[in-house]
Amino acid sequence: MSAVVITGTGLYQPPHTITNDELVVSFNAYVDSFNAHHAAEIEAGTVQALTHSSSEFIEKASGIKQRYVIDKEGVLDPKRMYPRFVERSDDQLSLMAEIAVDAAKKALAQAGKTGADVDAVICSSANMQRAYPAMAIEIQQAIGAKGYGFDMNVACSAATFALEQAANAIKSGSAKCVLVVNPEITSAHQEWKDRDCHFIFGDVCTATIVESADTATGPEQWEVLSTHLATQFSNNIRNNFGYMNRSEDSDPLARDKTFRQEGRKVFKEVVPIAAAHIEAQLGALKLEPTQVRRFWLHQANQTMNQLVIKKLIGGEATQDIAPLILDEYANTASAGSVIAFHTHRADLAKGDLGVICSFGAGYSVGSLVLRKR
């Protein structure tokens, strides 16, 4: 059986940035307005006053310094606090497909492929723009791909879970060249009015070409030595928005219809799960964590990644061992580990080992062990 290889990646980066300072000015203006409007209830103790945020708080809590967004004006409007998108007609390319096609074309160029070489498209992200038709099929048509396409959702592990499906498709013979895209328009499901999480997310899209080594034509190949997925149910990260909300007569703008988490619980529980997951996968390959040249980890929290690496290798998570990109991009849900791989692999040598790993809601953990050919 031919080896399964990753031959190209692509990245769509939105046109706008929001720095922590800009975000804090907007958030604090919203807080002041809320507290003034509810002054009587706050005085009576029936409503809790909101607290200002700060750039220092954000960076200390997460390591994030800025984020990219598709729309900046709506997010920073204290009277709105979420992006403003223009609704498109059914015969127009959807926003999610548009950014996926951008990233896909870059990945195809890197792999030395065209859309016609692709015979499967997997669109996998934390939130889909619509229920159907599948985003993947729209993207398939837009790039001129053959075969089939389908959507997936495994929250922040959506990319790694999709990459395993792509690798399995190659191994089974159902496809020879698979495009995996991860369009993450996280600004639309972020709760920008909640101090505990208003700074977390940013928009982006990644794309990855997975194919048989027999058909690889690009200058770079990363052999997929192993994939490993695991899930364990938890309510500590949750979003209740969905098509049944109308039938439940629930408020579509209620707090539970956007991202929410029990951050401290997630931190405490996910770090050991992720570290043990990677260690077990490497052990099955008779490899030690110290033999891995680079770890491209999920980009949610700087301290979380540092602790995962410390558990694995007993040392510091330097930029060389586990590159951090969330300071620039923030948490981009499933795309984070792929961005790290995309931007921090050029210096590795033939034979070097690397691990792509993501973890998030579910709980879910997905990882790939790669070797540069």
Structure-block tokens of residue 105: 């074309």
Catalytic residue among 156, 197, 205, 357: 156
Burial class (CB in 10 A: 0-12, 13-18, 19+), 220: middle
Peptide bond into 289 cis (omega under 30): no
Q: What is the separation of C-alpha 55 from the centre of its chain, rounded to a whole number of angstroms?
A: 23
Q: What's the Cα-to-Cα distance from 246 to each of 17, 67, 129, 131, rounded to whole Å?
A: 34, 32, 17, 15
Type and span of the H or E element at 368: strand 364-372
Given a contact cutoff of 8 angstroms between Cβ atoms, the answer to whether 312 and 373 are in contact is no
For residues 160 and 204, give the distance between their C-alpha atoms in angstroms, rounded to a whole number: 16
Strands 120-124 and 4-12: unpaired
Dump the DSSP string for 57-74: HHHHHH---EEEES-SHH
Based on its alpha-carbon atoms, the radius of gyration of the chain, rounded to whole angstroms, reads: 21
Given a contact cutoff of 8 angstroms between Cβ atoms, the answer to whether 129 and 135 are in contact is yes
Exposure b/e, 124-150, CB count within 10 A at least 16 = b: bbbbbbeeeebbbbbbbbbbebebbbb
Type and span of the H or E element at 170: helix 158-172
What is the 8-class DSSP label of residue 356?
Answer: E
156 is catalytic: yes
For residues 49 and 51, give the distance between their C-alpha atoms in angstroms, rounded to a whole number: 7
User: Is residue 10 classed as helix, strand or coil in its secondary structure?
Assistant: strand
**Torsion angle, CA of 225/169/118/338, rounded to 10 degrees?**
-40
Given a contact cutoff of 8 angstroms between Cβ atoms, the answer to whether 205 and 99 are in contact is yes
What is the 8-class DSSP label of residue 45?
Answer: T
> What single-letter amino acid sits at 78?
P
Active site residues: 156
